[in-house]
Structure 1
Amino acid sequence: MSSATIPWVVSEELAGLNAQAFGLAEAAGLPYDVKVLRPAAPWKWIAAKFWPNPLSVVAGSLGSPLPGLVIGCGGMAGVVLAALRRRALPVVQIQNPRISPKRFDLIIANRHDELTGPNVFVTRTALHRVTPDRLAAAGAAWQERFAAYKRPLVAVLLGGNNGRYRLDAAVAGALAAQLVAMARRDQVGIVVTPSRRTDPAVTELMRTALAPVGGWVWDFQGENPYFGMLALADMILVTQDSVSMISEAAATNAPVMIAPLPGRSRRQTLFLETMRAEDRVRLFEGRFAPWPVSPLNDTFAAAEEMRRRLSL
């Protein structure tokens, strides 16, 4: 495949957006070049939908030659993709672009986006890069390192404040107390990974609280344990704020419990209603309470739909 035909993956410099676009391309078996959108001043302070000439704003991010397909994720990417389509390029948008769906060849949107149309493919989960092969490799790589912790093993994925939900020291303290009580009562091991959004004070609080029961909290040093935790956990606990982390956890063989947070989001509520209707997630009530589950992952179905529609 020549460089002129290798698809572009276009998004802002945000890990969550990149993971969705990378996951779609990889599930479709497509190589890709990453194009990170870095608009210069003053456009970086102005919503992309108001840019009069989007391609000139991000020209330094894209380069040439133009590819045979462009995949984008997020609102800024949506505006750029719509402009590229005017040059007869096929474009696939992930997430609601907040502009006319008619400006795209295909939109892949989660049910909580409440978007429908003849060129819209609706998923239950966010797209991501969790696959059986990646989990198997990560499980083998981390098996020995996690062998010291009690089994059953509970993996805890921490998000953070995001404008809709709150995960501060007070909320984290209550969650930590539940985890400590569960470790003692149910005799489980606990491993925790914070995310980029987790307040360092929350991370340190968790580390201090879990130390007496042998819990482990990643300190961002060395190799990222995230996929290893997903692969080896007997139960996964995810804070309510992150659709991406919940979707990734649901792609494993482990039951997924949701740690509720103060706040409110219509989109998040709709997403969790879908996941609970599938019995793929349940509300965490302080106990290790697994139930039979199967992996739930709509990334491969989305990739197959993209290949079918665009004859890839």
Structure 2
Amino acid sequence: MGVFLFSYCEIYAAACLSTARLTAVTTEPERSHDEEGARVGNGAAGVLRGKRAWIISDGKAGHEIQMLGIAEALGVDAEIKPITAPGNLYKLTAPYGPPPVGARFGAPGSSFAPPWPAIAFATGRLTTPYIRALKRRAGMQTFTVILLDPKTGQRSADLFWVPEHDTRRGANVVTTLTSAHRYAPERIAQLRAKMPASIAALPTPRVAVLIGGPNGDYRYGPDETARLARALEALARSGAGLMITASRRTPPDLLDAVDKATETGQRFFWRGEGPNPYPDFLASADAFVVTADSVNMVGEAAATGRPIHVFHPAGGSSKFDRFHAALSEKGITRPLDDGRGLESWNYEPLDSAHIIAREIERRYAARLKMIPGLCQDGGCE
């Protein structure tokens, strides 16, 4: 699953991460991949609003972004809880076994001491021992959620989330097509309404070009570099306004080729200097060009409901293939064609954080109904 964790916010963590403590906002879903959204009954909506949440973090910004996106959709008061720097033995044994001794899990004065939160999230195998320990100690007081598949048993958490292209399934597993993120419809609308002058000055259609790079599954050789450069050169000649950004995975030769191919067009080419314009690129775009190697960047673009043209470099994998096939079948993405140019189409924006949050609320409300008095006497804060 590691190759699926690259997103722009993971690459530029400082620009995307918020403070360690925040009060989130709320935002509806699907419990199965065939439904538009799961209906929340019995007053479940907002049942966790204002309650405390732990974001158990391994320090990877891409992991934190997913957890914070759901926390914001729930309206909880979330606190990031960094894990103790793992030693070699812990790295070898995780996700199994206990948290490291140095974490002093549950001890007074430690980062992981009572009072226990109403809900806790973990993502990645290094955080899994922590949330398993929390589940044992807090019992039913804390609703535990693991994002992505740590390859542990179903009892490791109350709820698992995995993307649809993953294979894990079960009674306590919820799936969505794209990953959770922090681009709720309200935020996108607010950003678009406050479009920076440097972006507003670009001609329309404004096209956000989100470039990743090689990973364990995709390769960018000379042929792929030339193919992407030709497509972007055609866009630049068409008069579209280009908003271009790359990642730390982008090879210098690919970046140079993109620079040269688009230099005659009207563009905003961000090279990592100054404030990160990625949120504004996302909200202001009339269309997207995204490389297939980043599931998260494709998913963030899909939150806008605007056309996504996907560039496929060499390689791929069965998981990536399932992901991109599902998006194409739902009319969300089309392949980038350097001869056809931009196409226009619409689809319902994807809001996976909202879907996951509503399922958490439904299950949490059922727990409260099943155990009267659970949140009395200081529990479920």
- TM-score, normalised via structure 1 length: 0.90
Pair 47,145 (structure 1): closer, same or farther in 2 beyond 3 Å: farther
Opposite residue 41 of structure 1, the aligned amino acid is G
Q: Does 1:75 align with 2:125?
A: yes
Q: Does 1:247 align with 2:247?
A: no
Opposite residue 134 of structure 1, the aligned amino acid is R
Corresponding residue number in structure 2 for 1:37: 83
Question: 3-state SS of the aligned residue for 2:349?
Answer: coil
Q: Distance in 1 between matches of 2:265 and 2:148?
A: 41
* Among 292, 295, 298, the residue aligned to 2:346: 292
In 1, are the aligned partners of 2:207 and 2:289 still within 8 Å (CA)? Answer: yes
Pair 217,251 (structure 1): closer, same or farther in 2 beyond 3 Å: same
Corresponding residue number in structure 2 for 1:96: 149
Q: Which has the higher contact order (CA 8 A, sep 6+)?
A: 2
Q: Does 1:305 align with 2:359?
A: yes
Opposite residue 108 of structure 1, the aligned amino acid is W
Pair 59,193 (structure 1): closer, same or farther in 2 beyond 3 Å: farther
Q: Does 1:116 align with 2:163?
A: no
Corresponding residue number in structure 2 for 1:28: 74
Question: 3-state SS of the aligned residue for 1:136?
Answer: helix
In 2, are the aligned partners of 1:142 and 1:225 still within 8 Å (CA)? Answer: no
In 2, are the aligned partners of 1:79 and 1:97 still within 8 Å (CA)? Answer: no
Q: Distance in 2 between matches of 1:310 and 1:298?
A: 18
Pair 106,143 (structure 1): closer, same or farther in 2 beyond 3 Å: same
Q: Distance in 1 between matches of 2:354 and 2:56?
A: 20
- Cα displacement (A) at 1:53: 2.3
Q: Distance in 1 between matches of 2:357 and 2:204?
A: 36
- Cα displacement (A) at 1:267: 1.2
Q: Does 1:266 align with 2:318?
A: yes
Question: Which protein has the bigger helix share?
Answer: 1
Aligned-pair identity in percent equals 32
Range moving further from structure 2, 36-45 or 6-15: 36-45
Pair 59,28 (structure 1): closer, same or farther in 2 beyond 3 Å: same
Pair 263,58 (structure 1): closer, same or farther in 2 beyond 3 Å: farther
- The 5 Å alignment of 1:119-198 reads 119-167=172-220, 171-184=224-237, 186-198=238-250
Higher Cα radius of gyration? 2
- Cα displacement (A) at 1:96: 1.3
Question: 3-state SS of the aligned residue for 2:218?
Answer: coil
Range moving further from structure 2, 299-308 or 197-206: 197-206
Opposite residue 82 of structure 1, the aligned amino acid is R
Q: Distance in 2 between matches of 1:21 and 1:144?
A: 32
Q: Distance in 2 between matches of 1:169 and 1:25?
A: 42
- Cα displacement (A) at 1:59: 4.3
Opposite residue 169 of structure 2, the aligned amino acid is T
CA offset digits 1:135-167 (Å, max 9, x no partner)? 123223334221232211111111122211124
Opposite residue 8 of structure 1, the aligned amino acid is W
Range moving further from structure 2, 107-116 or 35-44: 35-44
Q: Distance in 2 between matches of 1:6 and 1:99?
A: 26
In 1, are the aligned partners of 2:95 and 2:127 still within 8 Å (CA)? Answer: no
Q: Distance in 2 between matches of 1:39 and 1:177?
A: 45
Structure 1 alignment gaps of length 5 or more: none
- Cα displacement (A) at 1:190: 1.2
- Structure 1 runs of 4+ aligned residues shifted over 6 Å read none
- Cα displacement (A) at 1:264: 1.9
Alpha-carbon RMSD: 2.2
In 1, are the aligned partners of 2:131 and 2:157 still within 8 Å (CA)? Answer: yes
- TM-score, normalised via structure 2 length: 0.75
In 2, are the aligned partners of 1:280 and 1:296 still within 8 Å (CA)? Answer: no
Pair 55,307 (structure 1): closer, same or farther in 2 beyond 3 Å: farther
Q: Does 1:15 align with 2:55?
A: no
Corresponding residue number in structure 1 for 2:329: 277
